[in-house]
Amino acid sequence: MELKNYTYLILMFATIAFPLALSFDKNVQYFKKLKYILPAIFIAGAIFIVWDINFTRSMVWGFNPDYLIGKDMLSLPIEEWLFFLVVPYSTVFIYEVLKFYLKKYEYANPFLVLSLFLIVGFALIAYFFRHQAYTFLTFLFSSVYLTYTVFRNQFKQHITKFYFAYFVSLVPFIIVNGVLTSLPVVEYNSLHIMNIRIINIPVEDFSYFFLMFLMVITIYEFLKERRYY
């Protein structure tokens, strides 16, 4: 096995290293929230893993074995399973850091307006590209779930920090996903995407990341506020 076979695995360890090291920071105290964060990650992750398995088997996308250690489970490389733990863990960490250090900054109404524009925009993209499986489903689900989140009207108090965290998270997302799509570690079937790329990253990935992050945060905040355990 060559060093490049560890590429995806190294990227995952690099992504989680900083958030993991600072999980015990006395200000943010991220570790104390893990009893709500981890279930949120597992619930959302289960949905996305089912999606991922089906798209992999349908050849919507695939994985280049040159950059993998060669261990698969249910058609997915073990690194891809780690992705759905590492990325949400790291992005929720950013969310919690911003909640602590930028607590006085609240722009709920402007972000609600932005959300309405995104709902319509996502829906229109899903409609006009309904024959491209990845484009259609990722933008449709993003529109539907964001609609549910906004009109359920219990996320307004968190919406500012969600968008702050999403925009900040785009920096590591572009770096990591840029590597994954440039080598490429992940290969996309051009028949199922718009073929519009930002630094080699299909534009659909930004919506996919938005949806995954929003789902994890809403589940996390729901569990934390209800304090079922």
What pLDDT was estimated at residue 191? 96
Token readout for 139 is 């933008």
CA angle 52, 135, 173 (to 5 degrees): 65
Q: Is residue 74 part of a domain?
A: yes
Q: Note the pLDDT tens digit of each residue in 138-178.
A: 999 999 999 999 998 789 999 999 999 999 999 999 999 99
Q: How does residue 1 score in pLDDT terms, banded at 50, 70 and 90?
A: confident
Q: Is residue 18 part of a domain?
A: no
Pick the closest to residue 177 from 146, 203, 211, 214 (CA basis). Answer: 203
Q: Is residue 20 part of a domain?
A: no
Could you tell me the pTM of the whole model? 0.96
Q: Which helix (DSSP H) or strand (DSSP E) does residue 85 occupy?
A: helix 78-101
In the chain, what is the greatest distance between 2 CA atoms, to the nearest angstrom? Answer: 53
Q: Is residue 119 part of a domain?
A: yes
Q: Is residue 132 part of a domain?
A: yes
Q: Note the pLDDT tens digit of each residue in 55-93.
A: 999 999 999 999 999 999 999 999 999 999 999 999 999
Q: Is residue 94 part of a domain?
A: yes
Q: Which has more confidence, 76 or 228?
A: 76
Q: How does residue 185 score in pLDDT terms, banded at 50, 70 and 90?
A: very high
* Structural domain containing residue 82: 3-13+49-226
Distance, in Å, from the CA atom of 129 to the CA atom of 203, rounded to the nearest integer, reads: 13
What pLDDT was estimated at residue 228? 66
**Cβ atoms of residues 183 and 136 within 8 Å:** no
Number of domains in the chain: 1
Q: Is residue 196 part of a domain?
A: yes
The mean predicted confidence, pLDDT, of the chain is: 95
Mean pLDDT over 7-30 rounds to 93
What pLDDT was estimated at residue 226? 84
Distance, in Å, from the CA atom of 125 to the CA atom of 139, rounded to the nearest integer, reads: 7
pLDDT beyond 70 at 214:
yes
pLDDT beyond 80 at 229:
no
Q: Is residue 22 part of a domain?
A: no
What pLDDT was estimated at residue 153? 75
Mean pLDDT over 201-210 rounds to 98
What pLDDT was estimated at residue 154? 83
What pLDDT was estimated at residue 25? 86
Share of the chain above pLDDT 70, in %: 99
**132 backbone φψ class: left, alpha, beta (φ>0; ψ -120 to 50):** beta
**Cβ atoms of residues 146 and 119 within 8 Å:** yes
What pLDDT was estimated at residue 221? 95
